[in-house]
Structure formats: C-alpha cells, structure tokens
Amino acid sequence: MSKKFDDSLQLTKKLEGLGLSEKESKVYLSLLPYRDIGSSKLIRATGLHGQFVYNALTRLEELGLARHVIKNGRKKFSANTPNRLLSLVEEKRLTTQSIVRELQDRFAGKHEQDFEVYQGDVAFMSHQMNILRNMPNNTVWCAIASAADRYRQVVENLGFLEELDTLRREKNITIRYLGVESRRVDLSEREKNWFNWTYKILPGLGVGIIGIEIFPESVSFVVYGDEILCFTLSSKEVADGYRDFFESLWKLSSK
C-alpha cells in the first residue's frame, strides 16, 4: 500500500470526523488538485458509481466546499479553499451551543456530577476546546504526566494549535505540568517557548499512556492509544479535590 494511498485514507477519515460522508470526502479530495474538472474524470479518480459522485458534488456545493462553471454546455467542477472547513466547524459549534442551551432549559436531571466519554482525536480536541472556551479568565489547567508528544501531534494535525494558543492568551490560562525526568530537556524548552506554561519533575513518576487533566470544574482521564479515549467527570467538588492532590504533588516536585 503506497504512502499516498495511506495519506488519502487518513485524510478521508479526518474529513468524516468533520461531518462529511466517506463518498463526499473522497470526491472533495479528488477535486483539490484540479480546476474545472469534468464529472467523468472525477468518477474515474474516485472509483465511485456516477450517481454517488453527483450526489456528493451537490452536497459539497451546498456546504460551500465546491463550485461549478458551465463550459461548452458541460459542468466543470472545482474545490473551494479548504479554509471553508474552518467556517463549517465554527457554524456547527454555534449551532450546537444554541441547541444545548435549549435542551438544558428542559433538562430535569441537572446532576451535581456528570460523566462523559469522548472517543477519537476529533471528539477529544473538540471537547478540550469547549472546556477552554468556558473556563474563567486567569485560571489554571493542571496536567499530570500526559503523553505530551501525542497530544501536540493531535493538536497540530487537526489544526487546533493556533486557536488553542490564542484562547489561552486571551483568557490568560496557565498550564502547570507534572512530568518525568526523562522529558526534562523537552519540558524546559516548552517552558521557554509556550505562553504561561510551567513544569516540575515528580520523582519516581513513570511514562505512561494515561494523563490526568484538572480544570476548574471537571477532571479528564485521557488514554493516549492509537485512538484517544477521554473520560471526563464534571463536578467542581471532585475537581477541587484533584487540584488539592495536584498541589501536594507539586510541592514534592522540583525543576
């Protein structure tokens, strides 16, 4: 299996995570290298049945991801800039927030503790960004020995790095990170280059695939496997308890 095929397969899955169907993703990826391509060539490029391609093109045009012109009586299709995906994600976020507010007004079981599971890189990062957007200004995000390289890879691959940094700066959110001795050099560099990011080394702490992240009103347990799995417990009381635990470990740690 070629690297180009593997890359296309990964991009298809990522586009599906943003709400496109598999066929819409394949057609959009096939459109990107061309300007004004005919449907027959698209059918050959995607390997899909003609009707599937036509349906996908109609949907992509509705989403603003594709357009067409008429040349010699025939439709020729082109992809619009991939930046349009950012607008779609933002539109979806705003719509979701509006729906959640309406549903929350009808929700009878407003529990003091809520437990939610997020599976997959896209679901995890969307959840993280939502937590950050709702965090009060001048607050602290505490993390214990999470897989920092895997986290950064996901943030960069999904295009959240700039938004994450901007949000943290706007809200003056500090990250305090408890790490392991073997990562000291990397953590030191990160402290120099990242906004309001500081660390300490906890003696005896081992490297694992599970990280703990403590926010003002929730705690997340993140499993950094092939696909990220995040368990979040929303409770200020529980978050305060874990923060006290973190502070105890912080005092035992050093640079």
- Distance from the first to the final alpha carbon of the chain: 46
Residue 124: how many CB atoms within 10 A of its CB?
Answer: 23
Q: Residues 183, 205: contact at Cβ < 8 Å?
A: no
Answer yes or no: is 140 within a domain: yes
Domain that holds residue 79: 3-84
Residue at which a domain ends, from 68, 84, 100: 84
pTM, entire model: 0.57
Residues 77 and 164 in one domain: no
The answer, yes or no, to whether residue 10 has pLDDT greater than 70, is yes
* Judgement on whether residues 62 and 133 belong to the same structural domain of the protein: no
Closest CA to 52 of 77, 79, 27, 19: 27
Q: Is residue 24 located within the same domain as residue 129? A: no
Q: Say if residue 33 is in the same domain as residue 139.
A: no
- Residue from 196, 182, 72 nearest 141 by CA: 196
Question: Distance of CA 67 to CAs 11, 41, 48, 63, 207, Å?
Answer: 21, 16, 20, 10, 49
For residues 173 and 135, is the Cβ–Cβ distance under 8 A?
Answer: yes
What CATH number is attached to the domain comprising 227? 3.30.870.10
227 domain-assigned: yes
Q: How many domains does the chain have?
A: 2
Q: pLDDT tens across 109-120, in order?
A: 555 567 889 988
Q: Which of 220, 214, 182, 229 is nearest to 201 (CA)?
A: 182
Q: Are strands 228-234 and 114-119 parallel, antiparallel or unpaired?
A: antiparallel
Residues 180-220 pLDDT 10s: 887 888 888 888 988 999 999 888 776 677 889 999 999 99
- pLDDT, tens digit (0-9, with 9 covering 90-100), for 90-133: 777 777 777 777 776 666 555 556 788 998 888 999 999 999 99
CA atoms of 139 and 126, how far apart (whole Å): 20
173, 251 contact by CB (below 8 A): no
Q: What does the alpha-carbon distance between residue 35 and residue 94 come to, in Å, rounded to a whole number?
A: 32
CATH number reported for the structural domain that contains residue 68 in this entry:
1.10.10.10
Asked if 241 and 118 sit in the same domain, the reply is yes
